[in-house]
């Protein structure tokens, strides 16, 4: 019989609706039940594409005996971290404080006020490698709850105090020297042999790479190029269907953790497109088509993720043996494909299978394309990974920006049209009647959870990208609505931001994390939107807010640039201006050439229109020159004369 989760909107929670565990969703009712029964609360946090979440669910939450023990001795709450990033952030902080590491599945035990007194991640169904079984953990905690209540309350109080320490960050200034120090630190952490930074596991450093793209010098460009080449060639990149897996389990990008996340692919799409060389164009095209083919929902948004597992095995959908290649392609093409894609008899993955790589692209590009298409068609006959249908506002904002950047730079209006459709969905479904942004939807129906800061920042940035793509001022109005909400409801006294609104549900702590992870932090995403809004409107309040927010993370960026790449990218743009370009004139080759040249400048905000538009300050009073398309360039409150020739525009765009 289905449990309470049968009514959930989250696909992750729905995966657990048939568990024998008597799950509750997060809410006051669950804590009231625990208080009435005088039992602790078990909090289990995960997400739909998480491999080890599936393992723990199968081993423990589907087990009748374990479920019976949980139902008798706990009130059990299941949370989708992607739906409730605020809950996840608070208890992940507690998990890291108690265990010195984090991850999912996350397992916490709480008192009746939500204070954690135990935290961990995955627990096996039986003791392994010195780790206790999940049942042993549950029994020990029940014993502590009953017999050592004072100790439980002391631990809970200590953790609550830790979670509520003053979160104000050491102020600083984003000077050119800070940017130089960040580059030097990244250089020391750069893996020159394999590309990227650090060792295994390796996540795509999209935001750091965009920062490196925006600063001059041979060293930043070398680090950027090496990472882009290595990721594109490795197994983390789906060589047949396009798109990227969440991370590589090794340092060489060979074997991925096979789940595909929208936020990764949205960011990498834009990054590769903005780089603009043949490799960047090829990867951007493959990634954009992957988004439209495999993640787009019937309502026009983009689903959150594809699962890592199929038929109970991680990666089964994606890996190959030489025999399978031969079966699809025949002897000659099969042997050729095995060599080209590094598919070996021993394999690079499990059970003698290999993850496809393209370490040395062959000279015969036509043959490669024919082979790729035949293998892709054959792969489509396999059991596909499950898709998390949840539409997350922030990640769709990232997808809008990526599709716009790629569509405008590579001349693909279909991608821009898809971005507009996603923007309309967010407006129609995720903005409620009071103008509040909601975090998630599924099947065109919004969930009940309020948007957090990164939703406001990423969606506002996406709307400003749609202004750039369409020239329609409605997108500016919508972006202003979100940014004004961020400034009034999320801002901290020191100029930074909290991740939840002042009027949001009160948790044991108000989360505030300015560091970038796999996707931009709420602070850095909001700063990018503020910088763009200032460039378009000229309003000083947006620039002031961006500068104050950046100052609050300058120390973090200087000391740990790998966790502040998006803030560093915004700071690099602020140091350069930011650059504002209006291209105005009749549609045609001349206007396109000017716009294309302007868009190649890192961090530039570029608007294109037929003529002046008083509704958009950057376009106000800007007219063609002598009937020809003209470019108007401004940076740092100073404007150049309008120019009609691409060479003259290039001269104005060059650093002073």
The pLDDT of residue 101: 84
The pLDDT of residue 169: 58
Nearest-angstrom CA–CA distance, 78 and 76: 7
Nearest to 45 by CA among 5, 101, 89: 89
The pLDDT of residue 167: 53
pLDDT > 80? residue 172 = no
Percent of the chain exceeding pLDDT 90 equals 84
- pLDDT tens column, 87-112: 999 999 999 988 888 889 999 999 99
For the domain bounded by 576-656, which CATH number is listed? Answer: 3.40.30
431, 343 in Cβ contact below 8 A?
no
Give phi and psi for 359, each to the nearest 5: -70, -30
For 388, the 3-state DSSP assignment is strand
Average pLDDT, the chain: 94
The pLDDT of residue 170: 64
437, 431 in Cβ contact below 8 A?
yes
Out of 98-112, 165-179, 613-627, least confident range: 165-179
Nearest-angstrom CA–CA distance, 445 and 437: 13
Cis peptide before 101 (omega within 30 of 0): no
Exposure pattern of 10-32 as b/e (b: 16+ CB <10 Å)?
bbbbbbbbebbbbbbbbeeebbe
- pLDDT tens column, 18-70: 999 999 999 999 999 999 999 999 999 999 888 888 889 999 999 999 999 99
CB-count exposure of residue 201 (10 Å: 0-12, 13-18, 19+) = middle
Nearest-angstrom CA–CA distance, 363 and 378: 24
pLDDT > 70? residue 656 = no
Longest dimension (CA), the chain: 87
Give alpha helix (H) positions in 365-504: 365-379, 393-410, 413-425, 453-470, 474-489
223, 190 in Cβ contact below 8 A?
yes
The pLDDT of residue 460: 98
Please tell us whether the domain made up of 4-163 is placed in CATH 3.30.43.10: no
Nearest to 109 by CA among 120, 98, 99, 101: 120
Cis peptide before 423 (omega within 30 of 0): no
- CA dihedral over 117, 121, 125, 130, signed as positive or negative: negative
Residue written as tokens 């749609």?
A: 466
Over range 155-183, report the average pLDDT.
81
Percent of the chain exceeding pLDDT 70 equals 99
The pLDDT of residue 125: 87
Give alpha helix (H) positions in 121-250: 134-147, 149-163, 176-189, 206-214, 218-233
H or E, element range at 278 = helix 278-290
User: What residues does CATH 3.40.30.10 cover in the chain?
Assistant: 4-163
Nearest-angstrom CA–CA distance, 654 and 519: 30
The pLDDT of residue 160: 86
Q: What's the alpha-carbon Rg for the chain, to the nearest Å?
A: 25
CB-count exposure of residue 541 (10 Å: 0-12, 13-18, 19+) = middle
Residue written as tokens 């709480």?
A: 110
Q: Read off the tokens for 526.
A: 């909001």
pLDDT > 70? residue 382 = yes
Over range 171-182, report the average pLDDT.
86
Give phi and psi for 616, each to the nearest 5: -120, 105
The pLDDT of residue 107: 95
């Amino acid at each position: 019989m289905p449990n309470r989760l049968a009514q959930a909107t989250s696909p992750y929670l729905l995966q657990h609706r048939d568990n024998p565990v008597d799950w509750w969703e997060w809410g006051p009712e669950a804590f009231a039940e625990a208080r009435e029964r005088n039992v602790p609360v078990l909090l289990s946090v995960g997400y739909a594409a998480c491999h080890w979440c599936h393992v723990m669910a199968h081993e423990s939450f589907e087990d009748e005996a374990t479920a019976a023990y949980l139902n008798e001795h706990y009130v059990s709450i299941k949370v989708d971290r992607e739906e409730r990033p605020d809950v996840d952030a608070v208890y992940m902080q507690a998990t890291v404080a108690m265990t010195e590491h984090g991850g999912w599945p996350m397992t916490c035990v709480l008192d009746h006020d939500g204070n954690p007194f135990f935290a961990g991640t995955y627990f096996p169904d039986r003791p392994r490698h010195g780790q206790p079984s999940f049942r042993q953990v549950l029994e020990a905690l029940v014993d502590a709850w009953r017999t050592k209540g004072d100790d439980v309350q002391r631990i809970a109080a200590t953790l609550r105090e830790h979670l509520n320490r003053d979160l104000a960050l050491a102020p600083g200034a984003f000077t050119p020297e800070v940017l130089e120090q960040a580059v030097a630190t990244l250089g020391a952490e750069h893996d020159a042999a394999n590309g990227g930074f650090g060792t295994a596991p390796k996540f795509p450093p999209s935001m750091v790479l965009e920062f490196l793209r925006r600063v001059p010098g041979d060293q930043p460009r070398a680090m950027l190029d090496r990472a882009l080449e290595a990721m594109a060639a490795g197994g983390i990149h789906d060589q047949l269907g396009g798109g990227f897996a969440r991370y590589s389990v090794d340092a060489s990008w060979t074997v991925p953790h096979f789940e595909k996340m929208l936020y990764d692919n949205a960011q990498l799409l834009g990054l590769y497109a903005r780089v603009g060389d043949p490799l960047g164009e090829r990867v951007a095209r493959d990634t954009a088509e992957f988004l439209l083919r495999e993640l787009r929902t019937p309502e026009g948004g983009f689903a959150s993720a594809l699962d890592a597992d199929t038929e109970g095995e991680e990666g089964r959908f994606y890996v190959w043996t030489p025999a399978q290649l031969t079966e699809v392609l025949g002897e000659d093409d099969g042997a050729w494909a095995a060599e080209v894609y590094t598919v070996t008899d021993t394999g690079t993955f499990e059970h003698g299978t290999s993850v496809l790589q393209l370490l040395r692209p062959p000279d015969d590009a036509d043959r490669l394309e024919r082979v790729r298409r035949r293998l892709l068609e054959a792969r489509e006959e396999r059991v596909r990974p499950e898709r998390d249908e949840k539409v997350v506002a922030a990640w769709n904002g990232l997808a809008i920006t990526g599709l716009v950047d790629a569509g405008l730079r590579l001349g693909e209006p279909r991608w821009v049209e898809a971005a507009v459709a996603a923007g309309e969905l967010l407006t129609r479904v995720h903005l409620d009647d009071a103008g509040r942004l909601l975090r998630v939807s599924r099947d065109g129906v919004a969930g009940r959870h309020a948007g957090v800061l990164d939703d406001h920042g990423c969606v506002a940035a996406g709307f400003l990208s749609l202004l750039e793509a369409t020239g329609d001022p409605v997108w500016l109005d919508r972006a202003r609505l979100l940014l004004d909400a961020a400034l009034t409801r999320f801002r901290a006294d020191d100029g930074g931001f909290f991740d939840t609104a002042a009027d949001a549900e009160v948790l044991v702590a108000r989360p505030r994390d300015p560091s970038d992870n796999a996707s931009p932090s709420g602070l850095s995403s909001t700063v990018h939107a503020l910088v763009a809004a200032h460039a378009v409107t000229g309003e000083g309040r947006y620039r002031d807010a961006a500068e104050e927010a950046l100052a609050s993370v300058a120390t973090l960026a200087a000391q740990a640039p790998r966790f502040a790449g998006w803030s560093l990218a915004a700071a690099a743009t602020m140091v350069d201006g930011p650059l504002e370009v209006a291209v105005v004139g009749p549609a045609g080759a001349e206007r396109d050439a000017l716009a294309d040249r302007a868009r190649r400048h890192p961090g530039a905000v570029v608007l294109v229109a037929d003529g002046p538009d008083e509704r958009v300050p950057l376009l106000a009073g800007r007219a063609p020159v002598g009937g020809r398309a003209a470019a108007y360039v401004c940076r740092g409150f100073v404007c150049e004369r309008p120019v009609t020739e691409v060479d003259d525009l290039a001269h104005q765009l060059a650093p002073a």
